[in-house]
Amino acid sequence: MRLAVSRRTALGLLATSVLLPGKARAESRQLYVNAFGGKAGFGVAAFDAAGRIHYSLPLPGRGHSFARSRNAAVAFSRRPGAYAVVFDAKDGRELRRIAAAEDRSFCGHGAFTSDGRLLFATEAIGSTGEGVLGIYDGTDGYRRIGEYPTHGLDPHEVRLMPDGRTLAVANGGILMLAGMPRLKLNIPDMAPSLAYLDVATGRLIRQVRPAHELRQLSIRHITIDRRGRVAIAMQYEGPETDDVPLVSWHGGPDDPAGLRFLAIPPEQRRGLRQYCGSAAMSGDGRLLAVTSPRGKRMLVWDMEAERHLAAAEMDDVCGVAAEPDGAGFIVSNGLGRIAAWQAGRVTTLPEAGSHLWDNHMMAV
């Protein structure tokens, strides 16, 4: 059965403030953090599953995504980023500010080791465009202690695999240099890849690329399902009229096969406008959600059956995070709305208006 929420229904729900049903949701202690912008500047805010804002933390510039450990969370600046801010995820206190290293810029994402000691941040070398993972020691004031090459250009999201020994890195494959940081210089010859690196040594374990004819599929956002497979949300840099897949998965560092693409109903694929903005797995590890701010929609798949389940259309939706104990998602948009998706139903949370939510959300 394929569930869908019509454009009229979804946008109507997003335009109103409807309390979520159920005592459990209202009393949930789960917090979500999302970067935001607005007239007052940039920051990070934390809210609960009923939409109540618990704290706001100012940022020196536009934020993007996050990493978390047991003791802290890190907000990364939008690429090419000059800073990262370490903060207490419980109360929003700033703990440390990290400046980008010389000839390096943050690319918006990071991941901790399972013990929380080391932080890996995706970074680009300004003079060459090559990607690296900057390595920061969380036990020593987040001092930068080295870097690993990502074996590609334009690294974006990085995730620690369930084995705790492998990092999965999304190399977007686009050449950009410090002197012209938003100009894409190699679109005809892009080389995106999913790279698996050994946490302890940085050794390249495996690298997976789209077929040559799909080389303009920029691999940008990744998440991991309960089987340990890496789900991938992509952005196509070729013509908008090209019929290309945008969501795929790979079996992990021991999988010798290439990318497998998830089926998207034709009307939904066209509606994505060649752009996926964020990806998240549900709390039970079964459902994959992918958002598209350009396409104004979120799509959901059952990863056990590798089957498309649902679509909901929402203006400028991008941020998405799992409700930890179930098969639902919390989503945010650039118009200041927070909503919940569960079993095909979109319900708006009461907080709205004062924060214009940016690309990514994280449960903490």
Q: Tell me: pLDDT of 152 over 70.
A: yes
The residue type of 364 is: V
pLDDT tens, residue by residue, 209-268: 999 999 999 999 999 999 999 999 999 999 999 999 999 999 999 999 999 999 999 999
**In terms of DSSP bridges, do strands 155-160 and 297-302 run parallel, antiparallel, or are they unpaired?**
unpaired
Q: Tell me: pLDDT of 23 over 70.
A: no
Q: Tell me: pLDDT of 110 over 60.
A: yes
* Beta bridge pairs of residue 122: 133
Kind and range of the H or E run holding 322: strand 317-322
Query: What rounded mean pLDDT belongs to the chain?
Result: 91
Q: Tell me: pLDDT of 19 over 70.
A: no
Share of the chain above pLDDT 90, in %: 83
The residue type of 132 is: V
Mean pLDDT along residues 88-103: 97
Order of strands, sheet of 287-292, starting from the edge strand that comes earlier in the sequence: 3-5, 307-313, 297-302, 287-292, 278-281
| Backbone angles phi and psi of 256, in degrees to 5 | -80, -10
The tokens for 107 are 């690319």
Mean pLDDT along residues 126-141: 97
- Residue 349 banded pLDDT, cuts 50, 70, 90: confident
Q: Tell me the HSE value of 103 on the side-chain side, using a 13 A CA sphere.
A: 8
Tell me, what's the pLDDT at 345?
Answer: 84
pTM beyond 0.85: the answer is yes
Mean pLDDT along residues 95-115: 98
Tell me, what's the pLDDT at 107?
Answer: 98
CATH fold of 32-291 reads Methylamine Dehydrogenase; Chain H (2.130.10)
Q: What is d(CA 114, CA 177) in angstroms, rounded to the nearest whole number?
A: 33
Q: What is d(CA 35, CA 319) in angstroms, rounded to the nearest whole number?
A: 9
Q: Tell me: pLDDT of 93 over 60.
A: yes
Of the ranges 47-51, 271-275, 340-344, the best mean pLDDT one? 271-275
Contacts of 29 (CB under 8 A, 6+ apart): 48
Mean pLDDT along residues 86-111: 97
Of the ranges 50-54, 163-167, 351-355, the best mean pLDDT one? 163-167
pLDDT tens, residue by residue, 156-199: 999 999 999 999 999 999 999 998 878 999 999 999 999 999 99
Tell me, what's the pLDDT at 27?
Answer: 54
Q: What is d(CA 76, CA 207) in angstroms, rounded to the nearest whole number?
A: 25
| Backbone angles phi and psi of 99, in degrees to 5 | -90, 145
Tell the residue number behind the tokens 């945010």, with chain if given: 332
